[in-house]
Amino acid sequence: MFQNNPLLAQLKKNLHAQTPRVEGIVKSTERGFGFLEIDPQKSYFIPPKNMKKVMHGDKVIALLKIEKDREIVEPEKLIEPFLNRFVGKIEKKDDRLFIIPDYPFLKDLIICKPNKNCTNIFQSGDWAVAKLIKHKLKGDNFFYAELIEKIVQKDHPLTPWWVTLSRHNLDKNEPLVEKKDLLIKENYPRKDLTDLDFITIDNVNTKDIDDALFIKDLSNGELCLTVAIADPTAYIKHGSKLDIVASKRGFTNYLPGFNIPMLPRILSEDICSLNPNERRPVLACQITILKDGNISKKIHFFLAWIKSKSKLSYENVSDWLEKSGTWKPKKKSIEEQILLLYRLCLLRIKWREKNAVLFKDSLEYRFHLSDAGKVIDVFIEKRRIAHKIIEEAMIISNMSAASFLSSNIGFGIYNVHTGFDLINAENVVAFLKNYNLNFTVQEITTLRGFCNLRRVLNILSNNYIDSRIRRFQSFGDFSIVPGPHFALGFAEYATWTSPIRKYSDMINHRLLKAIINNEKPIKPSEDIKLKISEQRRRNRMSERDVSDWLYTILLQKKQYRNNKFKAEIIDISRSGLRARLVENGANVFIPGTFLHPIREQLIFNQDIGKVFVKGVVQYQVSDLIEVTLYDIRLETRSIIAKPEH
């Protein structure tokens, strides 16, 4: 009687329309159920039966229901799948292919087969790039993927690198080069500076040397610094094939063990590189530094030829200045150059201490790998005095370039940092009051006020306060027009000193040359700025991912079992602590169950970076704690640690 009843159908439709719906991101668990995260504070339970239609990370609209007096959700509509193009590991069963996506919460096999353009043969354990074609929430009966290409075969020693680069869709090889790309395309007049004692200071194994320095004492307490920068734009015309390739890559991608260059190695490591005793074309800048450390307004950019007289290393120069080790400069003139650069460095550090922002010395970690790509160890590298000498010279150069571009054409590729937005500035002021540090929003949103805040924090030297303030800061960005860089403490900043490695610096080279040669400069587009920003983000993620992979391989070795490590807490999550091992830089996770046995007595406050047990602060960001390694999961590249109570 009720079959095909239009009134009943309308009633069902009305009830369905009245059912509340929520939108969020699916978060799965190892126990089959999941949660729909609406925002960081609100989530709804997804029962195991409803999880079968979705994957971790899917953005969905779901029906909100009451089941057994509990709010649950049933995914109804897919807004955006988590998987689209992805990488994964192949499993072969009865001549059928399956792929397991390489993501921590995706463990189910997905049916797959090569698409029509893929001619690779796949075996179990191989890695591949795939594309999700069918999704259950779209009405399909099963998840299904097409294989696009094979990345690497099972157990290949370079798997961490090739899989990571494929995941982020980054190049694996250097660009191709044609003979015509190796010839200078310009005939601008260049000043001959080949007789001057230019020197380079880099890591021992650096091949792409892009900066050389010459300094002169003007005898009135002032110093004249000439910075010579390798000139790849002399070989690469704007809009040429190689220029387009460089613009797409954006940067040389530095990964543990090796790099993938932005330019062909024959250019970046030979023809353009400022190798010792080789005549090279450069873009140069002459800058006078006054007695008080200020930079003179007379900045002179010009084209030149130079011949570096000595390739020096950070280690040797630092040892010599610190009066340790056996190395010493081969010539008196090189010795004089080092001492004058040292004097300049100290002068500028003193100036920046009063007028800008000083960097905190931080540890850097470098993997020691065998020729076959096996992880042997991790070295700690500290910023020594020779690093600071080059750093100060490059900062002077980039400040000068920004000023030169602004006063002549008013545009370029500028590095900008806006400090705090209004809401975060209010949060900072409120937070600092707890420590009797009184600032106003108006004060810390100005460049001078921000610099003053950073100087106060440096003097205070409280790592917890410092970490909280950094959390409120905005991210650095690129801008076509001049703007301040709060984190450095400068009114404007534009890099041009690494054109072999950074496309943004190549753009600035062309603009500087246009000014020098009275030509019409081509204004960079917002599009190129966004492309460079995105490429920088992907490169950084690839470096982090390879590092995480190598750490899990390294720490599985016997000598690290049962070891106690000092670890610095770097973040508080919803369910535990994230920490960094001081000895080697590995990131570890400490679950809440290891901190206190009764979950209800634990509160993880991400906003203030503290963990409370029974209402008392037990841990906070920046604390140093002792941990042992509990579990190392190679498949998810995660290291679980346990605190030593």
Q: Which residues are catalytic?
A: 202, 208, 210-211, 314, 501
DSSP 71: E
Burial of 598 from C-beta contacts in 10 A (0-12 / 13-18 / 19+): exposed
Query: Residue 373 is which amino acid?
Result: G
Cα separation, 643 vs 629, in Å, equals: 9
Cα separation, 373 vs 554, in Å, equals: 12
Cα separation, 575 vs 591, in Å, equals: 6
Task: List residues bridging with 200 in a β-sheet.
Answer: 311
Strands 279-289 and 638-643: unpaired
Residue 437 phi, psi dihedral angles, 5° rounding = -110, 110
C-beta of residue 461 within 8 angstroms of C-beta of residue 454: no
Task: List residues bridging with 120 in a β-sheet.
Answer: none
Q: For the chain, how big is the Rg over CA atoms in Å?
A: 29
Cα separation, 155 vs 167, in Å, equals: 18
Helical segments of 255-355, H only = 265-266, 314-321, 332-355
Structure tokens that stand for 269 in this block = 């490591």
Strands 199-202 and 310-313: parallel
Query: Residue 559 is which amino acid?
Result: Q
Question: Which has the closest alpha carbon to 540: 250, 292, 297, 268?
Answer: 250
Burial of 192 from C-beta contacts in 10 A (0-12 / 13-18 / 19+): exposed
Cα separation, 233 vs 241, in Å, equals: 13
Structure tokens that stand for 644 in this block = 């030593």
Residue that has been written with the tokens 């420590």 in this structure: 435
